Structure 1
Amino acid sequence: MESLGEMLKSWPGGRSMSNQADQKLEELMADPLVERLFVKHPELNERAVRMNMNRVYQYVNEYRNCTNCPGLNNCPNDFEGHYTLLSCETVNDQVQLIDRKVSCKKFIARRSEEQIKNRIRSFYVDETALNNGYSADEILFNDPKRTEAAYQILAYIDKTKEEGLQKEGLYLAGKFGTGKTFLMCYLLHELAKAGYSGAIVYMPEFVEDLKSMMHDQAKLRETVEMMKETDLLIFDDIGAENLNPWVRDHVLGSILNYRMNRKPTLYTSNYELDALERHFSFTSKDGDEQYKGERLMNRVRPYVEVIMVTGENKRGRK
């Protein structure tokens, strides 16, 4: 019986094809990557390479593509963000080359970042702070006046990573534009990397949206349940909202009543705690209701560590 090589040579143009294959095999055998493959797998031989030239060529070509990576979005490999890896296996005294696709570092990093983002829900908050990523240096040294608060945030993150979710949350108080929301977004991002889910809610717009949800009970129930169950819940700019008794007593009260002693709730505010209690005690509908303000604060005050955030107003600065 004729060998495949002899059959190719006997066909019109077959000898040329065979010569091209021999030349390609010679080039592959001289490639440093293939030479390293022979060192790693001593059982590998030239016959196995010849029988698997397409696999070996793809292995070499994709390695070169990765070495000169043009970026994940312009990945030239067959499977974006993956490259071919070869290994050997001997079956019935025959060496077989086995190829498999492996994720590259850039693909793994992007997938990890997508998983992090999927753990965080944002309601009415500018997501730039969540999507751009952070560095500890940026958190600590952008504003020296804010450094002490930043260290407290970092300590809370480390404690949560070491011990698990804390029952106590944080209450960041300070003037406009000092970076309270920025610090909280950093906290969410870092703890999402550790596997925790979270939500950040901009209170003034959330409260206005709740009024329309009164007529969509399914959406209201879904929203409230999510805020009850998420690992970390941040109420951003609390105290700036225009409260009514229903929002205060039946929505906020319900969420905070469920979360206390279960999961941490965190806050940013321009008010310190006493001023926030006065805010909760007054609604546009019923006026001053000190008892109901105290009642809600009993679900806030005992469950937070207060951090004063000082520094310059960074809004509007270029």
Structure 2
Amino acid sequence: MEPIRETMKRVVNAPDFAARYNDARKEVLEHPGVQSFLEEHADEINKEIVDKGMVKLYEFIEQSHDCNKCPNLGGCINYLKGFEPNLVLQRGSIGIEYTKCRLKTDHDNKRHASSMIHSMYMPKEVMQATLSGFEPDDSRMEAFSAVVSYLDQATGPDNLPEKGLFLYGKFGVGKSFLLSAMANELAEMNVKTVLVFVPEFMREMKQAIGDHTLQEKIDYVKKADVLMLDDIGAEAMSSWTRDEVLGTILHYRMAERLPTFMTSNFSYSELQHHLTYSQRGEKEDLKAARVMERIRALTNPVRLDGRNRRN
């Protein structure tokens, strides 16, 4: 049997192998990334170092750079998915280091942003809302401008305007969408936001009495860095949910000056009327006025008009 060294020597010395090697070498040395690397290290690299590093150089050129050969992160062709190769000179030898690519960075940033938002009973499609997906026509421009103005003033978790917005208007005009888009923008600033669909939250609070988690859940919501209460006024309000749940949350946030946002089908005056009457038909003007005082202290009212976009 022919020794392996002799076999390798015969293969390497074969005319067709030499031709293929020369073609591959030419392809490698003509690659813009390789040329840039060799020019940068012209004083440190000679032909011998290049020849010894040819395998690494070929590994470099056959991969994607700046995601130019990858349709998306899942379709990444690189040896390490989500990482791109960079040529380096290490102790007189050519090597490769891998750094996170653009698609991987974007993916990780989005995952981090989504972790900054805690949604309680909000629809998944609403949670994916973006400001670019909101159509600010004439009837919706005031609300859109108010949201953009708030975001312009916010620079991070330690610098947020204290007073939030009370977006009100008819069904399906985009109040929840705009609120969620705002939460996603704040998440990009590392601001933690809790979004709560109020009718479902109030139902759960009644159940929480039985499993002894009421105070824990109220504390979590009331202490959120930014709180967004969606569809306030759509719940069947009782004296207890108005005073002990909603009132407690709003009082704490008013005292601590924590940014709070709300959406409703009701204006301030209409919401006060809703809060005045309990499920049993009792009229409680003073208690409703107390809750509304906190809402007015926490928010600025902005009307959102337009057609019903759910139809």
Tell whether the structures are fold-level matches, with TM greater than 0.5: yes
8 Å contact kept, 1:165–1:231: no
Matched, 1:188 2:188: no
> 1:48 Cα shift?
2.5
Matches within 5 A, 1:207-286: 207-218=202-213, 220-260=214-254, 261-285=256-280
Distance in 1, matches of 2:276 and 2:115, equals 36
Matched, 1:294 2:289: yes
Segments of 5+ residues of structure 2 without an aligned counterpart are none
> 1:27 Cα shift?
4.4
What's the TM-score, normalizing by structure 1? 0.85
User: What is aligned with 1:4?
Assistant: none
User: What is aligned with 1:3?
Assistant: none
Aligned match for 1:159, one of 129, 153, 157: 153
User: What is aligned with 1:29?
Assistant: 29
Q: Which amino acid aligns with 1:106?
A: L
Distance in 1, matches of 2:74 and 2:29, equals 32
Q: Which amino acid aligns with 1:189?
A: N
Distance in 2, matches of 1:177 and 1:47, equals 70
Matches within 5 A, 1:1-318: 10-17=5-12, 20=17, 23=22, 24-25=24-25, 27-42=27-42, 43-63=44-64, 66-89=67-90, 91=91, 95-135=92-132, 138-141=133-136, 143-161=137-155, 164-218=159-213, 220-260=214-254, 261-285=256-280, 287-316=282-311
> 1:52 Cα shift?
3.3
Equivalent position SS for 1:102: strand
Tell me how large the CA RMSD over aligned residues is.
Answer: 2.5
Distance in 2, matches of 1:153 and 1:26, equals 57
Q: Which amino acid aligns with 2:244?
A: H
Aligned length, in residue pairs = 301
Segments of 5+ residues of structure 1 without an aligned counterpart are 1-7
Percent identity among equivalent residues?
Answer: 30
The verdict on how the C-alpha distance between 1:149 and 1:10 changes in structure 2, with shifts beyond 3 A counting, is: closer
Distance in 2, matches of 1:155 and 1:18, equals 72
> 1:125 Cα shift?
1.5
Q: Which amino acid aligns with 1:41?
A: H
